[in-house]
Amino acid sequence: MKSATVALSLLSLAGSALSAPYLLSDKIVGSDFYREFNFEAISDPTHGRVNYTDAATAMHQNLTFASHDTFILRSDFKTVLDPNGPGRNSARIRTNKAYSTHVAIFDVRHMPQGCGTWPAIWETDEASWPNGGEIDIVEGVNDVMPNAMTVHTGPNCTMPTTRLETGTPALNDCDTNANGNAGCGVHAPTLNSYGPDFNANGGGWYAVERTDNYIKIWFWPRNAKNVPIGVRLGSLIIDTTLWGIPTAYFPNTQCDLKSHFDANNIIINLTFCGDWAGNVYSQSTCPSTCVDYVNNNPAAFADAYFDFASLNIYKAA
């Protein structure tokens, strides 16, 4: 009996050793976002009805502001736009650092909502897109729920039809040249993962783990009872093997993730209309046309903002 107990203890220790815990690398809260991110005042690559501002303009117009435990990123919601002028002012920020194997945990209280909106939290290497890979952690348009989690790559990367995840897979070819760059996506199983329902529930936590063997994304609503303690508290050490089945799972069984992904920056942005929100606008219950609605209804975007409690980034121990 004693030898059996010792054997079980050794097995337990071996399992712990193989779990590859992660150590906190970057804790980003409040004004830290201004230090850890840069503002991309660029033309929108997705052709949205948006004008991405620089940091000074964003702060002057309160498109971004911070307190000790809050960072807000939003669009203008006061200006009627000239149809021949620039789009609605908003912000697009990108981390100064790029990450390979890592875990990122986003504690989000609120995300942008409204007809015409297209908010996203994602990772990519803009300079080598799509060959450096892209992971969309939070993305959606026109308040259509639930959240879509998607991987985009160069050619020869597909996902198995059946895999261990709580979400529902959509298309399985990650190649940007296939299916109109729809990517290999997974829809979250609950409506409160995105948009108005997410906000009404007080938000929640999104986490992404990227390794050479797999990419996993989890979502826990604010009131969920199974939020890992390390996620809830922003612990110094986390172990993702204790987190349960991910919401979305992208294994390397039919895709060499190591060759399809290089070091990626984290990007947070809010655009309007464009290649996705604009193209499917007529399929929603939203009024008018996307561009006309965005131009003429500034008050409709009072709730078009991100509220981040924190972003914690971990690297392998």
Determine the 3-state secondary structure of 193 from DSSP. Answer: helix
Q: What is the pLDDT of residues 228-257, one digit of tens each?
A: 999 999 999 999 999 999 999 999 999 999
Give the tokens for residue 274. 């464009």
What does the alpha-carbon distance between residue 152 and residue 171 come to, in Å, rounded to a whole number?
11
pLDDT at 82: 98
Q: How confident is the model at residue 301, as a pLDDT?
A: 98
Across the range 68-83, mean pLDDT stands at: 98
Question: Cis link prior to 21 (omega < 30° from 0)?
Answer: no
Quote the CA–CA distance of 161 and 144 in Å, as a whole number.
Answer: 24
The region of weakest confidence among 5-14, 161-170, 270-279 is 5-14
Single-letter amino acid code for the residue at 115 = C
> In angstroms, what CA-CA distances link 231 with 15, 22, 129, 242, 312?
21, 12, 30, 11, 9
3-state helix, strand, coil in the chain (%, to 5): 25, 35, 40
Q: What does DSSP assign to residue 130?
A: T
CB atoms closer than 10 angstroms to residue 45: 13
Q: Bridge partners of 121?
A: 138, 268
pLDDT of residue 151 exceeding 90, the answer is yes
Helix and strand numbers, DSSP H then E, in the chain: 7, 19
Band (18; pLDDT cuts 50, 70, 90): very low
Distance CA 117, CA 108 (A): 17
Q: Which residues are catalytic?
A: 134, 139
Whole-number percent of the chain with pLDDT over 90 = 93
pLDDT computed for residue 138 by the predictor: 98
pLDDT above 50 for 16 = no
pLDDT at 65 > cutoff 70: yes
Cα–Cα distance for residue pair 98/216, rounded to 1 Å: 18
Q: Which residues pair with 15 in a beta bridge?
A: none
Q: State which H helix or E strand residue 120 sits in.
A: strand 117-124
57 contact partners, CB below 8 Å, separation of at least 6: 41, 63, 89
Q: What is the pLDDT of residues 178-192, one digit of tens each?
A: 999 999 999 999 999
Q: What is the DSSP string of 206-239?
A: EEEEE-SSEEEEEEEETT-TT--HHHHHT-SEE-
Structure-token match 């399809």, residue found: 260
Give the 3-state secondary structure of residue 135.
strand
Backbone φ, ψ for residue 33 (5° rounding): -60, -35
